[in-house]
Amino acid sequence: MSTIKETTLPKHLQYKETGFKKSSNVIQALSIDILLWGYTSLVTYKVIYQKLIMNMRHADFTWSQPLAALGVGAIISLILFMTKFSIGRASKGLYEIDENETYMKQPFMFLGYFIIILTFVVGLQVSQVSMREFLSEAGLTGARRIFTALFQPNFAIIEPALFAAVETIYMAFIATAISLPFAFLLGFFAARNLMSNSPLTFAIYNLVRFYLNISRSIEPLVWAIIFSVWVGIGPFAGMLALCLHSISSLAKLYSEQIENISDGPIEAMTATGAHPIQVIWFGVVPQIVLPYLSFTIYRWDINVRMATIIGLVGGGGIGTMLMQYQGLAKWNEVGLLVIVIAIIVWIMDYSSSKIRASIK
Amino acid sequence: MSTNILEVKDLQKVYPNGTHALRGVSFDVVKGEFLVIIGLSGSGKSTLLRCINRLHDPSSGSVKFNEEEVTTIKGSDLRQVRSKIGMIFQHFNLIPRKTVLTNVLTGTLSKTSVTKSIFGIYSEEDRAKALSLIELVGLSGKENHRADNLSGGQQQRVAIARALMQNPKMLLADEPVASLDPATSHSVMQYLKKVNEELGVTILCNLHFLSLVRQYATRVIALKGGELIYEGSPKEIDEEWFRTIYGEEAVEVTID
Ligand SMILES: Nc1ncnc2c1ncn2[C@@H]1O[C@H](COP(=O)(O)OP(=O)(O)OP(=O)(O)O)[C@@H](O)[C@H]1O
Ligand SMILES: [Mg+2]
């Protein structure tokens, strides 16, 4: 008698060299080449030729240009595909390269280096980096005026500034506090180990994960703009925006924490005949409270910064105040607000990291 | 009335990943026995215990506990059966950061309402019982210590107290001494023996060391590759059986 273990490799690890697989690799390799060369042709024409060499002010854009570039790219790719210069072939492993040789000196890297340099040059042009403007006489006087004003903050507005700062901190706190129970619940639904037992719970898990990913990828700033149309400009709109983002971020962090806990206490509680809610309360919760607390405090810290930024689009608090004075070009007042914000951010950062370190 | 507390028939377990961990295991357990299960790593010992209290669902076959079929029950019926079967584990599986007393009290969860247990409200009776069990396992004075700060042997004794808190008719022990040193192993086994003899709790216990088996078991079954290949008294395990169970090259290691 012997132990027979049926071991089957997961699909993606089973290696079968089939004709189809090979030709699809070639197609992918060629597509990579065409895209890279197409990109190279397009930006070389638009930026290097039209802007830098011909110095055109308003080079007009037509959709035929990228198409033509792709065409040029395709021709170049087809020619180079036969040689040692194809990045596509290299990335699909279609070259036989000696294990001891480094990739850095291979011919196909030539295009790679070229694209990096090209992109850097184009980047400078697109972001309009200009030393002339940076060092221009008028520009420097303006900057000097603002900087002197900033360094002479107007302490007359310290009282309203502090009130606005307090408003921001409270807004961030309330947003964190309101998010907490929602994130706490969602965290369980987004934890793979708790949800992968039955098809129904696994479907819920996927749905929740999807929602969390989508809502997290939309910046709080955008939510703030949406909500300020909905409930009017002010702290409430800012708070709603923060809440939405905090719920998703916290739920994600919480669920990852749940996925990392040890099964032991859960098994032990289940074995006593405890109700599933009791199993979670005694088997899961004690393992996660401290990390949760730490995440939540960190989130409050993040929310104070975000609340300041959201204030710039009318979410209330010190950000809104900053925006108003900036609009009036009252630089001494702006200087004071910048100092107040810096101090708050520093205090929050310092105390939150201290608290988190002490509850490890 | 039958004296069998447990009847296992043709139990099969195939894990979702395709591992065939139990291949038709059948045996009976008489009330009051100290039954030890031996076998190589991976032979299916843990799987067998977990199929009995349904921490894992068996793929087919039957498990009767006190003549009640447990492979098909669900929800509160299942919890009811589980509450009569205590379990202790190799890694103790106590609740971290909680006191010894709280840990022992979790043994009454099945009889305490969800809300009460969440707010930590237990009856005076339960508290008194928990304290007396803590005394029984020799940990008086430690009831308010954090369980995860205790030594391995002490943690396992807390786990025994927790299991006894359930008033179990049967105790499943999955390698209860595998992470303990020899002296501590014996002390923990002594407590299990006491539970078995003085409280009359039937015990099913996975063990690795044959010296412990000979000393504590009243009966032994052996698993190999998910099949039951030996059933008998611990004294009958001779050289030949040893080789069959553990393989030709195995040499017995003793613990004393
Ligand atoms: N949750 C699981 N999922 C998939 N396979 C599992 C799972 N648990 C155990 N197995 C497999 O089932 C077989 C039996 O494992 P089991 O843990 O029951 O053995 P064991 O006799 O308790 O071994 P050990 O002495 O190492 O604890 C092994 O091949 C193991 O890999
Ligand atoms: Mg095991």
Q: Which domains does chain B have, with CATH numbers?
A: 1-84+168-256 (3.40.50.300), 95-167 (no CATH)
Cβ–Cβ below 8 Å for A273 and B93: no
Q: Could you tell me the pLDDT band of residue A19, with boundaries at 50, 70 and 90?
A: low
Which pLDDT value is given to residue A8? 43
Q: Could you tell me the pLDDT band of residue A182, with boundaries at 50, 70 and 90?
A: very high
Q: Could you tell me the pLDDT band of residue B1, with boundaries at 50, 70 and 90?
A: low
In whole angstroms, what is the distance from residue B168 CA to residue A271 CA? 11
Please tell me if the CB atom of residue B37 comes closer than 6 angstroms to any atom of ligand 1: no
Q: What is the mean pLDDT of residues B155-171?
A: 93
Vertex B157: Cα angle to B153 and B159 (nearest 5): 115
- What is the arrangement of strands in the sheet containing B60-65, beginning at the earlier edge strand? B20-30, B4-14, B60-65, B68-69
Strand B68-69 with B60-65, pairing: antiparallel
Instruction: Find the closest chain B residue to A290 by CA distance.
Output: B97
Strand B227-232 with B219-224, pairing: antiparallel
Q: Is the ipTM of this structure higher than 0.85?
A: yes
Q: Which ligand 1 atom sits nearest the alpha carbon of residue B15?
A: 4
pLDDT tens string B105-140 = 999 999 898 999 999 889 999 999 999 999 988 888
List, as ranges, residues 182-241 from B with C-beta within 8 Å of A.
Answer: 224-227, 229
In this complex, how many residue pairs, one in chain A and one in chain B, have their CB atoms less than 8 Å apart?
101
Q: What is the mean pLDDT of residues B208-212?
A: 83
pLDDT tens string B52-95 = 999 999 999 999 999 899 999 988 899 999 999 999 999 999 99
Q: Which ligand 1 atom sits nearest the alpha carbon of residue B39?
A: 21
Which pLDDT value is given to residue B129? 92
Q: Which domains does chain A have, with CATH numbers?
A: 11-129 (no CATH), 151-358 (1.10.3720.10)
In whole angstroms, what is the distance from residue A217 CA to residue A112 CA? 30
pLDDT tens string A112-140 = 888 899 889 888 887 777 777 777 888 88
Residues facing B169 on adjacent strands: none
Which pLDDT value is given to residue A356? 79
What are the start-end ranges of the H helices in A283-330?
A: 285-310, 317-327
Q: Could you tell me the pLDDT band of residue A11, with boundaries at 50, 70 and 90?
A: very low
Which pLDDT value is given to residue B53? 92
Cβ–Cβ below 8 Å for A2 and B225: yes
One-letter amino acid for residue A260 of the chain: N
Choose which residue among B20, B46, B55, B179 to substitute to test ligand 1 binding: the one with the highest number of ligand atoms within 8 A of its C-beta. B46
Percent with pLDDT over 70 in chain B: 96
Which pLDDT value is given to residue B84? 93
Report whether B253 contacts B207 (CB < 8 A): no
Q: Could you tell me the pLDDT band of residue B2, with boundaries at 50, 70 and 90?
A: low
| DSSP letter (8 states) at residue A49 | I
On the question of pLDDT at A34 being above 70, the answer is yes
Three-state secondary-structure class, residue B242: helix
Q: What is the mean pLDDT of chain B?
A: 89
For ligand 1, the distance from its centroid to the CA atom of residue A132, given in whole angstroms, is 72
Burial of residue A301 (number of CB atoms within 10 Å: 0-12, 13-18, 19+): buried
Instruction: Find the closest chain A residue to B20 by CA distance.
Output: A5
Which pLDDT value is given to residue A143? 85
pLDDT tens string A275-302 = 999 999 999 889 888 888 888 888 888 8
Q: Which of B185, B206, B165, B162 is nearest to B40 (CA)?
A: B206
For ligand 2, the distance from its centroid to the CA atom of residue B41, given in whole angstroms, is 7
- Name which residue leads in pLDDT, B171 or A46: B171
**Min CA distance, A252 vs chain B (Å)?**
23
